[in-house]
Amino acid sequence: MKSRVSVLFMAAAVLVLFAGFATIADEPIRVLATVDFSGAAGNIGPGYDKAMRLAIDEINAIGIEGFSGIEYRAIDCETNPSVTETKVRREVLTWHPDIAGGAALETTIRTLCSLGPQFQLPMFIGGHMSMTKYIAPGEVPLTPWVSYYGYSDYFAGQFAGRFFDEMGAQRVGVIGGDYDWGYSNGIGLKAYWEQNGQPFEIASVIYTPLDKTDYSTEVQLIKDANLDALFIPYTGAGWFSLATQLRDAGAAPEIILYGTTYSNLGGAKVTGEYGAEGIYTLCDHDPATPEWAAFVARWKEAYGEQSYPDAYANNYYQLMYWIAEVFETAGTDDPETIIQTMQEVSYQNVCISPMGPMGPYGGNTGAVGGVLKFESGSCALDPSFGLHPLLISTYETPDLNGLEVLQIVEGMTKLEPGESYPMGG
């Protein structure tokens, strides 16, 4: 017969064992935000951080089965690839994140695309992905280790071409940043132009340095081109002011279509009513839904009545809920299991598209894009601002994974300044 001491010892050992299991089960999900707080993307990165923090606060209040919650840490990548790599490597070795991401521009996103498979660390991007970084001699692999909301910028360019075609534009121009995003958007526009009988002339192509803020030279070139429509994917530090500078010079074409990073009143407020009125933008949400209004209300409650969600903010907000769903469904922080679960789990909130499930190369399957327009007259979302956004149309992306998109893009050359892209006969 066992002594009472030995029984108590065994009971204590069992309790310690179970306590050890409980500790493992109650570990947090460590999310490392690789956000650009400074540099060329310093004007949009902070909004991503705010969106993730807002979602994480809500998620932690609810709880995540099998985990103690989300532990969040943000680093400033400074829109600098070498800084991004140095800081991510440091955090991987010292803090051991379970998932990382959030960089704003392709200049820093491409670093995540290299480090994800290298460290076997799932990465995330809350915006759309440029495909030109993968084209030889591109330095990053096409990989399932980097998941991204929405669609590739090749499709963004396609949407722009379709929109201009539907609007009856005859002379179209492009001005974008001199880097991957500008190139891939231009390739998508060019592809639409080629595949649909050259329905308009591409009369002006301009690429600008990402640190440029004075567009006087470019504005004159656009004015001389006498355009019906202008596509502006993203130009960098002075991007929000381009529309205002065009209007000041009497050079604004009838149709100005910005890329998705201008896609809500947060972007319009930075530009101001004068610069934003009548402008169209690719978008990821329908601003007229009650769900969007509820999200804006939570944002204002957290960050002040005068604050408004920045570009892509809701994508990152939704993405945090998706990450929680993925880890809870997986029941583990094992990275390979997480990658597999990302391809099986989705989370839908007020975005047009759900976040996930992912395709085999990180692309968001079933993505939908939209176009909205800023029209005169304030709305309940922000009564102090004299414009309101109106959803004009939505476009579905083809059912293609990242490798299939890359195979399409790989044989194409980007739009080149000075080249001739005439309207078809």
> Count of residues for the chain?
425
What is the enclosing helix (H) or strand (E) of 390?
strand 387-396
User: Of 329 and 45, which is predicted with more confidence?
Assistant: 329
Instruction: State residue 376's pLDDT score.
Output: 97
What pLDDT, in 10s, does the model give residues 93-144?
999 999 999 988 888 999 999 999 999 999 999 888 888 888 877 678 889 9
Q: Which 3 state secondary structure label does DSSP give 387? A: strand
Q: How far is it, in rounded angstroms, from Cα 173 to Cα 98? A: 43
Least trusted range by pLDDT, from 2-11, 38-47, 230-239, 250-259: 2-11
Q: How confident is the model at residue 394 (pLDDT cuts 50, 70, 90)?
A: very high
Q: CA angle, corner 147, sides to 142 and 152, nearest 5?
A: 70
Range list for CATH 3.40.50.2300 in the chain: 22-151+309-342, 153-288+366-409
Looking at CATH, the fold of the domain delimited by 153-288+366-409 is given as Rossmann fold (3.40.50)
DSSP secondary structure letters along 158-173? HHHHHHHHHTT-SEEE
Which tokens belong to 326? 């993925």
Q: Does domain 22-151+309-342 have CATH number 3.40.50.300?
A: no
Q: What is the DSSP letter of 379?
A: B
What pLDDT, in 10s, does the model give residues 403-423?
999 898 888 899 999 999 999
Is the whole model's pTM more than 0.85, yes or no? yes
Asked whether the predicted pLDDT for residue 307 surpasses 60, the reply is yes
Asked whether the predicted pLDDT for residue 399 surpasses 80, the reply is yes
377: exposed, middle or buried (Cβ count in 10 Å: 0-12, 13-18, 19+) = exposed
